[in-house]
Amino acid sequence: MSVLWTSEAIAEATGGSASADFSVQGVAFDSREIGPRDLFIAMKGEATDGHRFIDQAFASGAAGAIVSEAIDYPHILVADTTAALGALGVASRARTSAKIAGVTGSVGKTGTKEALFAALDRFAPGHVHRSVKSYNNHTGVPLSLARMPEDTQFGIFEMGMSAPGELAALTRLVRPHVAVVTAIAPAHQAYFDSIEQIADAKGEIFQGLEPGGTAIVPFDSPYRDRLIAAAEPYAAKILTFGHGEGADVRARDVVRAANGGSLVTANFPDAELCFTVAFPGEHWVSNALAVLAAVEALGGDLAQAGLALADLEGLAGRGARHRVPVKDGTALVIDESYNANPASMAATIRQLGKEEAERRIVLLGSMRELGRESDRYHAELVEPLAAANVDFALLIGDEMRPLAKALEGRIEFVHRPDAASALERLSKILEPGDAVLIKGSNAIGLSRVVDSLVSGALGGRTD
């Protein structure tokens, strides 16, 4: 791999002093992620101090470290390692001539970021960089920037927030040429008085747009005009995407594809494209339209982007589909275990209703950070569950009590306290031909249930 940073460049960017000459090909602040020739940034937090893991980082192959205390390994000495990470991210953004996209939204931002990466990588293979995992906060964004090679042609950065002002700070680091808002929904509402305030906070992404930049806004959202108003002072161009008449990037026709995804005919301001989205569900059609709007704005190739959307593979925790072994056959497990809010819950439950299955089962974990409206949002899931003809619901966590009460007399259900008991219950009921949706806030730990199912914990054999 080529050199990402030299010790001289790191010292110049951070204002630190180098103990020796070295070069690195990667950057991490988690010692468990360090590989050969990486840079380790010893961050100090409330719970731990990265300096405690210096030996571990160099044992794993680190070539150098950024530290605030002198060590016996090659290093850059700075006053504040967190500030140094931010400065390295700023320097990385300053040295590149790449076209940059920023992605945010209450739902769909990670999937949209990954799909946009796949679409642009078809056009410029090996020269597209994106933030990995969900590194979208005050440390994840500068880390993702610091990892961007200088010769990158397209950079894609996910940005999240849980309070007003956070996105404004992140987007000024990223300085995108294109800023995308996927959707507005009641996520993190515990920190906001209204969904309108959430929309305003998401609209902060436009404040960092480069001159001549493009804002991409969901046309069908009830907060469309609010987002457009937030974009107008900063964007040279505003593109909308959606199903409604008048959207700039509009899904004119959508039919179910042979592979279970969607075949879409979309109109653009100056073009028309017929493409397939590999993942099923209306929410993925919306994500795909946002991706194509961004590709158009960034100067990518729409035809190649359409091919990439057809070849997408499921993301762990965000729609990955597994055929898992059960006695005398297999069952379909839909892994949506990474996160949950009312909008994403309803969308994935609706999609479950379209699956061909002997039985439809849901394993739903609590939706966190919904504030004073939490009981109502949980109880309202009864309607999409009924409309999807769900046969059995397994509910996990205290916040699910209102839904359990709403389900009485309508759908068979069991309410359990934790993920471990959920796996035990599933092992008793899962049968060949079942389709199981597993979704909940990440803290509930439903990913462990998915891992157990995929590893064959229920017996039988894999396909």
Do the domain assignments include residue 52? Answer: yes
Q: Which of 39, 60, 84 is the last residue of a domain?
A: 84
- Residue 236 shares a structural domain with residue 137: yes
Do the domain assignments include residue 424? Answer: yes
Look at residue 313 in the predicted model and tell me its pLDDT. Answer: 84
Do the domain assignments include residue 459? Answer: no
Look at residue 463 in the predicted model and tell me its pLDDT. Answer: 37
Strand 249-256 and strand 262-268: the pairing is antiparallel
- Residue 66 shares a structural domain with residue 157: no
Do the domain assignments include residue 368? Answer: yes
Amino acid at 97: S
Q: Which of 310, 330, 347 is the last residue of a domain?
A: 310
Report the length, in residues, of the chain. 463
CA–CA gap between residue 415 and residue 393 (Å, rounded): 8
Partners of 263 in the β-ladder: 255, 276
- Residue 124 shares a structural domain with residue 237: yes
Q: Which of 292, 310, 328 is the last residue of a domain?
A: 310
Q: The domain that contains 369 carries what CATH number? A: 3.90.190.20
- Chain Cα centroid distance, residue 16: 33
- Residue 113 shares a structural domain with residue 69: no
- Residue 392 shares a structural domain with residue 367: yes
Residue with tokens 């619901």: 393
Do the domain assignments include residue 144? Answer: yes
- Residue 153 shares a structural domain with residue 77: no
Look at residue 258 in the predicted model and tell me its pLDDT. Answer: 80
Look at residue 421 in the predicted model and tell me its pLDDT. Answer: 83
Q: Of 413, 440, 418, nearest to 429 (Cα)?
A: 413
Q: The domain that contains 157 carries what CATH number? A: 3.40.1190.10
Number of domains in the chain: 3
Q: What is the pLDDT along the chain (463 residues), one digit of tens a residue?
A: 689 999 999 999 999 999 999 999 999 999 999 999 999 999 998 788 999 999 999 999 999 999 999 999 999 999 999 999 999 999 999 999 999 999 999 989 999 999 999 999 999 999 999 998 778 999 999 999 999 999 999 999 999 998 899 999 999 999 999 999 999 988 766 678 899 999 999 999 999 999 999 999 999 999 999 999 999 999 999 999 999 999 999 999 999 888 789 999 999 999 999 999 998 889 999 999 999 999 999 999 999 999 999 999 878 888 889 999 888 899 999 999 988 999 899 999 999 999 999 999 999 999 998 888 999 999 999 999 999 999 999 999 999 999 999 999 999 999 988 888 888 888 888 999 999 999 999 889 999 999 988 887 655 433 3
- Residue 267 shares a structural domain with residue 118: yes
Amino acid at 389: N
CA–CA gap between residue 257 and residue 278 (Å, rounded): 8
Torsion sign, CA atoms 258, 261, 262, 268 = negative
Look at residue 460 in the predicted model and tell me its pLDDT. Answer: 43
Residue with tokens 């107008």: 232
Do the domain assignments include residue 315? Answer: no
Torsion sign, CA atoms 387, 106, 394, 352 = positive
Look at residue 458 in the predicted model and tell me its pLDDT. Answer: 59
| Residue 115, both tokens | 């799909």
- Residue 171 shares a structural domain with residue 108: yes
Strand 320-326 and strand 329-336: the pairing is antiparallel
- Residue 187 shares a structural domain with residue 157: yes
- Residue 172 shares a structural domain with residue 263: yes
Do the domain assignments include residue 103? Answer: yes
Q: Of 449, 441, 445, nearest to 399 (Cα)?
A: 441
CA–CA gap between residue 75 and residue 78 (Å, rounded): 10
Do the domain assignments include residue 90? Answer: no
Cβ burial 29-49 (10 Å sphere, 16+ → b, else e): bebeebeebbbbbbbeeeeee
- Residue 44 shares a structural domain with residue 133: no
- Residue 420 shares a structural domain with residue 271: no
Asked whether the beta carbons of 414 and 361 are under 8 A apart, the reply is: no
Look at residue 457 in the predicted model and tell me its pLDDT. Answer: 60
Full domain range(s) for residue 385: 320-454
